[in-house]
Structure 1
Amino acid sequence: MTDTDVRRLGPDDWRAWRDVRLAALADAPEAFGSSLERESAYTDDDWRAWLDPAKGLKAIAGPGGAAGLIGVWTPPDRAAEIYSMWVAPQWRGRGVGDRLIAEAVAWAAERRHPHVDLWVVGDNDPAARLYRRHGFRDTGETQPHPRDAGVLERAMRLELNAGQ
């Protein structure tokens, strides 16, 4: 993989997902609803199960996934939602985030979702700018961060052409 390659993962790729996911949680714990401590305790079977294609998209970027990751799921009765997005510090500003977002949007469009939603930590302006570049817009909805009620997350949405 090069720094711009993105690869969709399946259950057999659990080690690659685990390694980059734990790196993301270690680097930016405030950006995630989970924790390094929690996910470090997952078993091999937990990781494999998480990569079941029926549970959504998991993709990595760069050599061995070292550049970043994205996860998308489909909550019941809702459209696709990006729940995990991270680019390693040394890869930021090199288009990796753009490629990951494009992959998530393509995945959602392939499944004819009407829109893609996500939550961004309120003060994470670089992430919000990345999402806006791809057409996401603030919805005005906010919620407390799952691990820190003193921090707000804001919802963003990208409308897709569901009729095509």
Structure 2
Amino acid sequence: MSDRYRVRRAVAEDWSVSRAIRLQALAEAPLAFASTLERETAFDPDQWRERIAGAAQFLAETDDGEVVGTATGVADPGEPGTTLLVAMFVAPPARGQGLGDRLVAAVVDQARSDGADRVLLHVVETNPGAERLYARCGFARTGATVPLPHRPDLIEHEMVLGL
């Protein structure tokens, strides 16, 4: 793993870099997320700030401040004690250096600190690399599936990590 990168929690002032990495993720991997580039391009700055304020978003960045990855943990409003891991992405040039593991660990550590019992995520069937990352981090399929919202012909597998 490279020490060229650091992972830190996002703050409201990070809204523009948060927006940039999220739009990059949606552009480069449109089938990996439950949202779309078209939808999120329309968000205004206040919506990006609200996203950061309402969740535990982590950013991976280079020593010069370039954001190359992100992952977010958000409390599941329908399941007390459950944190949802969402919006996980590492830019292609930064992959293979342990950033995905570090971002997942940051979300898991925050969930544990917040008193969550488990971290839950969904991974689309066409993204085996992401599923391998999550399995390496201790997540396991639950057997539950849901359709990808904007492509219901694709299935997302639910994975969970008990804390």
Number of aligned pairs? 157
% identical equivalent positions: 40
The Cα of 1:62 is off from its aligned counterpart by 1.8
Aligned position for 2:116:
113
**Which of 97, 109, 123 matches 2:100?**
97
Q: Distance in 2 between matches of 1:4 and 1:57?
A: 19
Aligned position for 1:150:
153
Q: Distance in 2 between matches of 1:111 and 1:143?
A: 27
The Cα of 1:65 is off from its aligned counterpart by 5.0
Contact 1:4 1:99 in 2 (8 A): no
Q: Distance in 2 between matches of 1:3 and 1:114?
A: 32
Runs of at least 5 residues in structure 1 that lack an aligned partner in the other structure: none
Q: Distance in 2 between matches of 1:60 and 1:51?
A: 11
**Which of 115, 137, 141 matches 1:138?**
141
Aligned position for 1:61:
60
Contact 1:6 1:59 in 2 (8 A): yes
Q: Distance in 2 between matches of 1:3 and 1:112?
A: 31
Q: Distance in 2 between matches of 1:3 and 1:26?
A: 25
Match of 2:73, SS state, is strand
TM-score by length of 1: 0.91
The Cα of 1:3 is off from its aligned counterpart by 4.0
Contact 1:8 1:60 in 2 (8 A): yes
The list of structure 1 runs, each at least 4 consecutive aligned residues, that deviate by more than 3 angstroms after superposition, is none
Runs of at least 5 residues in structure 2 that lack an aligned partner in the other structure: none
CA-based RMSD: 1.2
Aligned position for 1:34:
35
Q: Does 1:125 align with 2:128?
A: yes
Amino acid at match of 1:45: D
Match of 1:83, SS state, is strand
Q: Distance in 2 between matches of 1:125 and 1:92?
A: 15
Q: Cα gap change, 1:142/1:3 in structure 2, threshold over 3 Å: closer, same or farther?
A: farther
Q: Distance in 1 between matches of 2:67 and 2:29?
A: 15
Aligned position for 1:51:
52
Amino acid at match of 2:60: A
Aligned position for 1:25:
26
TM-score by length of 2: 0.92
The Cα of 1:77 is off from its aligned counterpart by 3.8
